[in-house]
Structures are given as C-alpha cells and as structure tokens.
Amino acid sequence: MSIELGHFALILAFAIASVSVLGGYAFWRSGERIALFLAQGAVLQFVLVAVAFAALIQAFVVSDFSLALAVNNSHSLKPLIFKISGVWGNHEGSMVLWILILVAFGAMVASFGRRLPSDLLALVLTTQSLLVAAFAGFTLFTSNPFARMVPAPLEGNDLNPVLQDIGLAIHPPLLYAGYVGFSICFSFAIAALISGRIDQAWARWVRPWTMLSWTFLTLGIAMGSYWAYYELGWGGWWFWDPVENASFMPWLAGTALLHSALVMEKRNALKIWTIFLAIITFSLSLLGTFLVRSGILTSVHTFASDPTRGLVILSLLALVIGGAFLLFAMRASSLRSGGLFAPVSREGALVLNNLFLATATGAVLVGTLYPLVLDALVGTTISVGAPFFDLTFGALMAPLLLVLPFGPLLAWKRADVVAAAQRLLFAAALAIFLTILISALGGVSISLAPIGLLLGFWVAFGSVAELIDRSKLGRIPLADSWRRLVGLPRTIWSTAIAHFGVGVTVLGIVATTAWETELVTTLNPGETTELSGYVLTFDSFEQVPGANFIAEQGHFTITAPGGGTRPMVAERRTYVASGMPTTEAAIETYGLSQLYLQLGEPLENTHVVRVWHKPYITLIWLGAILMAGAGVLSLTDRRRRVGAPQRAAKPIAEPAE
Amino acid sequence: MFFWFIATAVTTIACAALYYAAARRTVNASVPDSAVSNSHFRLVLAGIDADQAAGKLGEAEAIAAKAELARELLRQDAELKKPHSAGPDMGRGALLACIAAVAVISLGLYAWLGNPDMPAQPLAERPEIAAQALDLDAAVARIEAQLAANPDDLRGWTVIAPVYLQSGRFADAQNAWRRVLELGGANADVQTKLAEALMLGNGGDATGEAMQLLTAAAASDPTHVMSRLYIAAELTRTQRYDEAVAAWNAALALSQGGEPWLQAAQQGLAVAQNQGEPATNAAETEMIAQMVSGLADRLAADGGTITEWTQLVRAYLVLGDKDKAQAAFDSAVEAYPKSFDRDDLDAIALEAGLKLNGAAQ
C-alpha cells in the first residue's frame, strides 16, 4: 500500500499546487490571508512530494516489482546504493526528484520569507506553485512513476550499467538543485513584473538564491564532467555534447545573473536587465532539463523518448517561457531604471562581464540548436562539433578573462583604470614570467598554449591582487597584514577565491589540451610499455565476480619517473541482467596530473591497452570546487544570509572596509 | 477500503492545515512593512559609507549615491501613502472553496489514476520466491515416495518425468514415460517424450525403438510437429538426405509462421538439400567484393565517418586481404589521429595483427 500512498501524496501535492495557482493569482493583492494560505500550501507540497519520493525509494529497496518503474530500472541483485539512486536514473523518477527539489525551494521561501511584503510573497509562491502544478501534472498524466505492473515479474530489467555508479547518486541531485534553484529567481522576476514593484530589497532577496543555485550547478556540472571522464572510458572531460551544453548555458546565464544582481543590490542599476536574465536563466534550465527528454537528442542522458511526451514538453516550455517573455514585454517599460554610472566603473566592468557571458550563452545556444532546427526544417543533418565551440567560445572568453582582474579593483560609479592597472602590475609581471619560464623549459612551439597559460596565470594572480593590496602585505609587519587579511569581509574573499578558481580551471584546460600524451598498444601479461616517463607493467589478467556483474581485471604496476611503484586495476564489466558491458578505467593521480588506463576487449591472444597521461587535469575540477566553495563562503556572509535578522547599528565595524 | 480511509484522513489533515494557517489571522489586511524596507535602506546607506572608506567610491560619487537612495526612499514613502488598490478580498467563502477544491481534485484524480486495491509486493514476501526456496531434491523424494505407494498415479509420473530428464537421469525418465504410456494409453506427445528420453540416453542416436516411437507418433497425429522434426533430424544425421528433405518439408508444411523451431528446420532443409554441405553463394561473395571496393573508392576520395573506415578494414580482414586492410587502417589513423575518435577500430585492427602507423614503420 505504500506505493499507492505515495501516488496519492503526489496527486494531493498537485491538487494543492493547482488550487494555489488559481487562488494566488486571483487574490494576491488582498492581504495576508492568501500569503499564509500559499505558504502553508508550499510546506505541504514539500512534505507530500517527499512522501511520494520516499515511497518510490522504498519500493526500489525492497525490489517491489509490482511497480513498473522498478521493473524497468532495478534488479534484486543490485547493491543498495544503486537501488536507491536507480529511482532517479530514468525519466519518470528523475521528474519526481525535479519536483521534490522545486517544492523544497518553495518551502524554503515560505519559511524564510515571512518578512517579505505579503503581495510579493504571494506572487512568488503562486508562480512557484504554477511550476509545480505544470510539472507534477506532466509527470502524472504522461509519465506516471507509480504505474503498476500486473502480474508482477520476479526480476527487474536492471539499470543501465553506465549509470550504476556513485556519480548517479551525486550528479543529478546537484544539477537539479542548480537548475531548479533558478526557478526562485524566475518566480521573483515574474512577481516583480506582475506587481510592477522592483527595488533594491528585491535584489537583496534574489541574490542569495542565485548564489545558492549557481553553487549547486557549478558542482553538478563539475561532477558530471568528472563522471563522464572516468566512466565513459575515453578520458574526455568535456565533449560539447548538446546535453552538456544544455547544462552549461544556464550556468553561463546564471553567472551573468549573479553579477548583474550585485549591481542591482548595491547600486540600484541594471534592474530590467537583471529581471530579463532571471527569466533567461530559468528558461535555459528548463530547456536543459527537457531537451534531453523530448527525444530530439540521443545520449546517455536520453531516457525513454516518446513523441506525445515530447510534444507536451515543448508545449509546456512554450507556455512557461513564452508567457514569461510576453509578460516581460508588456511590463518592462513600466519599471523604472535607476542608478547612474560612468562607462569606466565597477558597474561598467560588470556590464562588460554580462555582455560577454550573454554572447557566449548565445553562441553555445546557436551551436546546440542550429543542427536540430536545420534537421527539422530542411532534413539536412550537420554536426556542429568541438572545433566550432572551441573557437567561438574561446574567442569570447579570452577578452573576458583579460579584463576580469580589473573588475573587483574598480570603484563604483566612476573609476580610475590606471590606478587599478598599477595595482595589477605585479600580477601581470608574474604571469608573463611564469609563462615564459614554462614555455622555455617545456619547449613549447608557437601555438595557442602560451596565450592560454598567460591568461590562466593572469586571472589567478590578478584575483588575489585585491587581497594582497587590502592586507598591505609587505608594507606593514606580517602579523598586522595577517590580521587585516583575516578581517576582510567574506564577500571580498569569495570574489577573490571564485575568480582564482576560474584561473585554475583555465590552467588545467590549457595544460591538458596542450601536453596530453596517449599510447595505444597491445600488451600481454608480463609485458611492459612506457608513456611520458611512466613505465607500465601488465602483471595479470583475471576474472572476478561482482555483485551483479562479472569483471575482467587487468592488473598493472606503474613506475613513476620519480621512482616508486603503484598498482593500477582496469576493468571491463559485463552485467548479468542486461549482458551490457562497461569499462572501468584505472586512474592514478600523480600530484595534479593523472595517468588514465583503459583495457580494451580481450582479443584472442592479446589485449589492447590505451594509456593517457593528462598533465594538471585535476586543476579543471579543483577550479570548479574553488568557485563553488566561494559561493558557499559568500552565502555564510551574515549580511547576505537569507532571512537573517539584520545587524542593527554597526555594519561598518569590519576593519579596512 | 482501508486505503480510502487513510487517503481521506491525509486529505483532511492537509485541508485543516491550510484552513487554520489562513483563517488564523482575524485582521486580513495588507500591512505595508515599511520597517523592513527602512532597515534595507539603512543597510545600503551603511554600505555606501563603507565603500567610500575602502576607496571603492569617490567622494562626489558617494554623495550622488546617497541622493539616489534618498529619492528612492521618498518615492517609496509616497507609494505607500497612496490609497491601497486592494484586489478582491479573500473571504472565508473563497478560502473554503479553495480547500474543497483541493479535496475534490486529489480524491477524484486518484480514483481515476490509482490502483487503491493493489497491495505492495516486496520480493522477499512473494509466494513464488517461497516456492523457489523449496528444495528440489526434497520435492522429488516426496513424489517418489508417493509413487512407490501408488504406482498407478498418472499425474505423479507425468510431473516427475521431465524433472528426471533435466537432472540427467535418462533411464528414470524413460521408465517414467513408459509408465505414463501404459497408464494413459498411446499419445503422440508422450511417445515423442519417451523417444526424446531414449535419444538423450543414447547420445543423440534415434535408431531402433526411438525411431519406431517417433514414426508411430507422426502417423497417429497428422499435425504433430515435434515428432516430425526429430525424424527429419535423425534422417539428416544418418545422411539419408533425400528422405530428410521430404521429412523437413513435411514438418515445415505444418508451420503457421513464427515458431521458434522454424529457423532450425529451414537450416536443416538447406543442409539436406545441399547433401550435407553448408550453403555457400558465389554471387554473394562477388557482391561483397564490389561493395568493398566502392566503399574504398569513396573513402579515399571524400573521406568518411570512423564507422565507415571500420567497416572497410573489417571487410578487407574478412576477405583475407591483409595488405589492403593495413593500408585502410593507416588512412583511417591519418583521418582520425586521436585514438579517442577511433572507437573500436584499433581493437579490431590490432587483434588481426595490423600495426598502428604501419606505413610509418
């Protein structure tokens, strides 16, 4: 009966959301009663969807094959963790996870938002309920996860082996938290448009939500990239695959939103543009979530595709996105813009950042959708591959990275660019020196690599320039400098760390792309090969049974150039239920570099072994983690905390502020 | 019924929660929370001072920013003083209507979509699993004991015969089927089963009694397929190909289309027609060679996908032309220098003894 109770809970949540939409849009102006009703409704929606989700997990854990979803995506032999993560390793279940995160954010607004003006709160919660009703309705009517199967089979069909990985337990929840978090910004934007009221308090509310979602999305994308890197067996960390682009576009737009909301909060400028970005970002999130389910694309992310479902999805997208833009077109002119600034100023730098990020988003969008549209209209299949994206995206990012370190050093309203440049002189000199040194030592030919290195170092050093400047390092005693450094506001720290993370990621990308080496060879146990100074010995090859698969393991011993040996085990698994094979590459981290070893299908008398040496590749993800960490740090800043009581009299108490 | 009781209770609780949250307030009027926005303005003001102190805002700019802030504050105060254009009031009636709608939609929709009477069926509690857990040997021993007490139990012999056959006890299986024959009379299915047990016990040889039984079964039932298939297979095995062709045809004539044995029977017929040699087709080989050279020309001229290159290399290897295969592999590596892009091609080529960059060495 737990399954049916879960089903009922989801339906009840849908009913509350639907009624909230009708009641909310009819009565939002009429006072506190409707706001309280909606807030209670938001909390109830969260509790009910959580119950529905728990019912699904329970059915998967006990292998209840009277649930069609469990039959199609589970197996009684699967380890417990994959039974649980299997709940969202498919279209229907992932929709429930999506809705769960949506209602969780709604409940958070309802709980923390008691201090919001009641009409704004009512409108935000109503818009949030509209999204819940739309997606819960879509789930219940076209892809119901609670469909039963009679008679119940004795065994399930198992989950796609590629998804039977710890990555599935982490990547989708993080990514969805990012995607869905932007729905709050969207709801705030719609509320502002409907009520016609938009002020700095609005931005103060939107910015933490943007920061939170952006942090989740950053981690989600980084995790997805690392998962693809180790699981797909090719050692590629980014493929410009439409699905990856679909998650990258909201990130780019969200990054722009983060910066424009800053201008709005601090200087009351860029209001209309911020609203526009909030709508764009969530629209791209929707596009990202649903493009992969419409059946248009084929990839590891594509779950069952069904034309009816695709049509419903496209109609929903058109309705939500089209409706939002229509509202924007009708109401934007009635909003007042405010806050004047000179072109060379902090505001100006942030506008520049927004321009580049928005253009980059547009470029990725065109590259992703153009082949699809062309195929649909003309029937010509073209493929827009990595070269297009590398060139356009790279060309747009290079100038952005070039001016990035200037931004935090510029003053608001009107700034002195020469003064900022003087403070960056040291960072520039250091970046140039290091680039020349590395290029000379590494014997780099004339290519884009030194330019990339230069940009990476420049961004990394330039980002910490403000910290050094503010702490007066070298100009006053070290202990005093340290005290000043620790006492700096967290927002300054988080800006510096996030920008430093960008530089670190750029360095990782450049190093891996320029200096990666690979080797494809045939090896038998006992034989030895060599790559970039690492000596690989193939020790043995054996069959090992796993929980629900049989593994063929190749055992290798690696002797590093600096001495010392380490074992590496590369696997090929064949899953019992589906008979599908997967490769489990062996990855060994040496400092910041990695050795990546993949065992090919065993041949009659030998084995094909692929080995890559990926210098400094971990920097790519370390940079992303730094960015996300900076987001968390910024959220802990008392002055930005959601719903935190404002400190009364002395917000100027921080030293050096 | 029990489910509906719980569902109604859950709905009632949810509706009550909604009602009390909204109806609790006796004053149902919008309170302009100017305190909140004022604290916000104070915060921004403090921010301006802080920025100025940190050199992030020039002196003139700070004054301008403060002026902007003051204008904003004045504008907001003016707005709050304006008569409030409240929308339709949410009265108690509207609230109750909303709550009633929640109950009606949820219960009605569930009645349409749900399966209220369907129980959960966790695998551990399924009766089929409990049955599977029963020891097969114990079950066999129990039936054997029953048969010893009552040797005329037709059903007992019918149940145990296939179990004997599966566990390789062919003599016991033969005995069991014989008992079934005696007790139930001659029947084409049973005769075939007994013949099957005899054949398996005899290493696949169906001469003698087995063949007699099969012939009898085929004769007694003109639509019996299994016996005819065994006869045809036996004739093919003993190389009596002309008779085998007739027997295969007789079996195939009974096909309705789509049976699992159909493909095997067609292969058997082909073997018998070809006097025991597997079928070959010279024209087909010719066609393959033509297709391969067409593909090679096209790839050399225009290039192609890695799948096409893989096809070409594989085709040369099947045709036994190793030099051309090596040449095609080299061209493919030239076209796709990263092994990442070459997918399965490397494995296929290296297995066949081709060399990576063979031309270069």
In sequence order, what DSSP letters do the residues of A274-334 get, joined into one string?
HHHHHHHHHHHHHHHHHHTTTTS--STT-----HHHHHHHHHHHHHHHHHHHHHHHHHGGG
Asked whether the beta carbons of residue B68 and residue A7 sit closer than 8 angstroms, the reply is no
Q: What is the pLDDT of residue A295?
A: 54
Residues in chain A: 657
* Residues in B touching A115 (Cβ below 8 Å): 33, 36
* Interface probe, candidates A413, A523, A529, chain B, greatest B C-beta count within 10 A: A413
| A-B contacts (CB, under 8 Å) | 249
Residue that wins the pLDDT comparison between A634 and B279: A634
Query: What is the average pLDDT score of chain B?
Result: 80
DSSP B298-309: HHHHH---HHHH
Alpha-helix residue ranges (DSSP H) falling in A378-477:
386-403, 417-442, 449-471
Q: What is the pLDDT of residues A557-607, one digit of tens each?
A: 999 888 789 999 999 888 877 778 888 889 999 989 999 998 887 777 788
* Average pLDDT for B246-253: 86
- Closest-CA residue of A relative to B72 is A199
Q: What is the pLDDT of residue A446?
A: 64
Alpha-helix residue ranges (DSSP H) falling in A31-165:
32-61, 68-73, 80-85, 91-112, 118-142
* Cross-strand bridge partners of residue A554: A541, A570
Phi-psi group of A59: left, alpha or beta (phi > 0 → left; psi -120 to 50 → alpha; rest → beta): alpha
Distance CA A67, CA A153 (A): 10
CB B182 within 8 A of CB B166: no
> Which 3-state string (H, E, C) describes A61-78?
HCCCCCEHHHHHHCCCCC
Please give the C-alpha separations between residue B21 and each of A36, A109, A126, in angstroms, as whole numbers: 6, 16, 16
Asked whether the beta carbons of residue A657 and residue B54 sit closer than 8 angstroms, the reply is yes
> Which 3-state string (H, E, C) describes A525-550?
CCCEEEECCEEEEEEEEEEEECCCEE
Distance CA A639, CA A207 (A): 12
- Closest-CA residue of A relative to B44 is A266
Domain boundaries, chain B: 153-273, 283-360
Residues in chain B: 361
Asked whether the beta carbons of residue B14 and residue A48 sit closer than 8 angstroms, the reply is yes
| DSSP category for residue A515 | H
Q: Is the pLDDT of residue B168 over 50?
A: yes
Q: What is the pLDDT of residue B263?
A: 79
Q: What is the pLDDT of residues B253-270, one digit of tens each?
A: 888 777 778 878 888 888
* Average pLDDT for B328-350: 81
CB-nearest to A32 from B14, B30, B340 is: B30
**Closest Cα to residue A620, out of A526, A542, A503?**
A503
Asked whether the beta carbons of residue B89 and residue A30 sit closer than 8 angstroms, the reply is yes
* Maximal CA-CA distance, chain A: 81
Asked whether the beta carbons of residue A36 and residue B6 sit closer than 8 angstroms, the reply is no
Q: Is the pLDDT of residue B28 over 50?
A: no
Q: Select from 1.10.10, 1.25.40, 1.20.1740, 1.10.357 the CATH code of B283-360.
A: 1.25.40
Residue B31 phi, psi dihedral angles, 5° rounding = -100, 110
Asked whether the beta carbons of residue A33 and residue B23 sit closer than 8 angstroms, the reply is yes
Q: Do domains B153-273 and B283-360 have the same CATH topology?
A: yes
* Residues in B touching A601 (Cβ below 8 Å): 347
Q: Is the pLDDT of residue B319 over 60?
A: yes
Q: Is the pLDDT of residue B84 over 60?
A: no
Q: Smallest CA–CA separation between A380 and chain B, in Å?
A: 16
CB-nearest to B122 from A37, A64, A346 is: A64
**Closest Cα to residue A265, out of A638, A628, A639?**
A639
Regions of chain A with pLDDT less than 50 = 304, 640-657
Q: Where are the beta strands (DSSP E) in A172-259?
A: none
CB-nearest to B17 from A28, A44, A116 is: A44
- Closest-CA residue of A relative to B101 is A19
CB-nearest to B43 from A27, A199, A646 is: A646
Q: What is the pLDDT of residue B37?
A: 59
What pTM did the predictor assign?
0.78
Supply B79's token pair.
């707005």
Q: What residue type is B300 in one-letter code?
A: A
Please give the C-alpha separations between residue A41 and each of A14, A21, A189, B93, B94, in angstroms, as whole numbers: 11, 11, 21, 18, 15
Q: Smallest CA–CA separation between B45 and chain A, in Å?
A: 10
Coil vs helix vs strand at B290: helix
Q: What is the pLDDT of residue A644?
A: 42
Look at the block and give the residue holding tokens 């939609």: B105
Asked whether the beta carbons of residue B105 and residue A18 sit closer than 8 angstroms, the reply is yes
Q: What is the pLDDT of residue A651?
A: 38
Asked whether the beta carbons of residue B86 and residue A37 sit closer than 8 angstroms, the reply is no
pLDDT band of residue B81 (cuts 50, 70, 90) is low
pLDDT band of residue B280 (cuts 50, 70, 90) is low
* Residues in A touching B68 (Cβ below 8 Å): 268, 338-340
Cis bond before residue B151 (omega within 30° of 0) = no
Distance CA A580, CA A578 (A): 5
* Interface probe, candidates A12, A132, A263, A345, chain B, greatest B C-beta count within 10 A: A12
Supply A335's token pair.
């909003």
Residue that wins the pLDDT comparison between A324 and B252: A324
* Residues in A touching B25 (Cβ below 8 Å): 32-33, 36
CB-nearest to B350 from A144, A340, A522 is: A522
* Residues in A touching B128 (Cβ below 8 Å): 154
CB-nearest to A413 from B32, B65, B94 is: B65
Distance CA B59, CA A418 (A): 18
Q: Select from 2.40.70.10, 3.40.50.620, 1.25.40.10, 3.40.50.300 the CATH code of B153-273.
A: 1.25.40.10
Q: What is the pLDDT of residue B36?
A: 57
Q: How many CB atoms lie within 10 A of CB A146?
A: 27
Look at the block and give the residue holding tokens 């940190």: B54
Distance CA B289, CA B296 (A): 11
Q: Smallest CA–CA separation between B39 and chain A, in Å?
A: 8
